[in-house]
Amino acid sequence: MKTLNDKIALVTGGSRGIGRAIALILASAGAHVVITYRNSSREAQAVVEEIKKKGQESVAFQADVSVLKQSEEVVEKITSQFKRIDVLVNNAGITKDGLLMRISESDWDAVIDTNLKGVFNMTKATLRPMLGQRSGKVINMTSIVGLTGNAGQTNYAASKAGIIGFTKSLAKEVGSRNIQVNAVAPGYVETDMTAQLTDEQRKLLIDQIPLRRTAKPEEIAHVVKFLASPEADYITGQVICVDGGMMM
């Protein structure tokens, strides 16, 4: 039997990058997977088709995680179709980098609203069915930048550090209901988010990674799959760095 046999999983930002890899790997482990996206409907539909080819059910919903009402609507549709939600992966995220003095109020708000408030919105909506079921796994995508800070990313690092505080607090709140809440902190992963780095910036970064290479999205997704599985039932409130050793 597969580790996630017939579990219902929701992956935000499942149309591209790390979220796409998570959705596909959860489906390979036996889950039925709902993904959300903001703009990329063609890419989202392609992920749905790939999941269906694996024999699992899949749906994509266009929903902005920064809007509570849209998050609630997604969860309502899932519970009416699938009757439960076993796994929530809060993966959707954006960057709007710049030195603090150059970050506009709207860029600050966009990053905090998507990355941090988005986690609040989706988790609040999903927790109701999980509390009723007395089981569930919430996995939040943070970043090593939320632990170390990074010049030029005050907004992003604040959102990712906020996710870590959220994860630990919620883990304490809902542990008695058999709901595990963990965070995964990737280092540098090859996706659209990191594609704009120059060769020189990339080389400087790789010099700081003990494994001397960047990560593939699948290498993050495998850790998410483990945290979503019954094998991780005794793990909660943790931040798992998947960073080639950068945080050592």
Positions annotated as catalytic residues are: 156
Q: Which of 8, 34, 48, 66 binds ligand NAP (CB under 6 A)?
A: 66
**Could you tell me the two tokens for 212?**
């001397």
Q: Which of 50, 64, 97, 219 binds ligand NAP (CB under 6 A)?
A: 64
Between 177 and 222, name the residue whose CB sits nearer to ligand NAP: 222
**140: β partners:** 90, 183
Per DSSP, which regions of the chain are E strands?
8-11, 32-37, 58-62, 87-90, 136-141, 179-186, 239-242
Between 12 and 155, name the residue whose CB sits nearer to ligand NAP: 12
Please state, in angstroms and as integers, the Cα–Cα distance from residue 106 to each residue in 102, 110, 116, 130, following that order: 11, 6, 15, 34
Stretch that binds ligand NAP, among 53-61, 147-155, 187-195, 197-205 (CB under 6 A): 187-195
- By CB under 6 A, what part of segment 69-108 binds ligand NAP? 91-94
Nearest to 143 by CA among 73, 7, 243, 216: 243
Q: Does 65 bind ligand NAP (CB under 6 A)?
A: yes
Contacts of 102 (CB under 8 A, 6+ apart): none
Where does this chain bind ligand NAP (CB under 6 A)? 12-13, 15-19, 36-40, 43, 64-66, 91-94, 114, 141, 143, 186, 188-189, 191-194
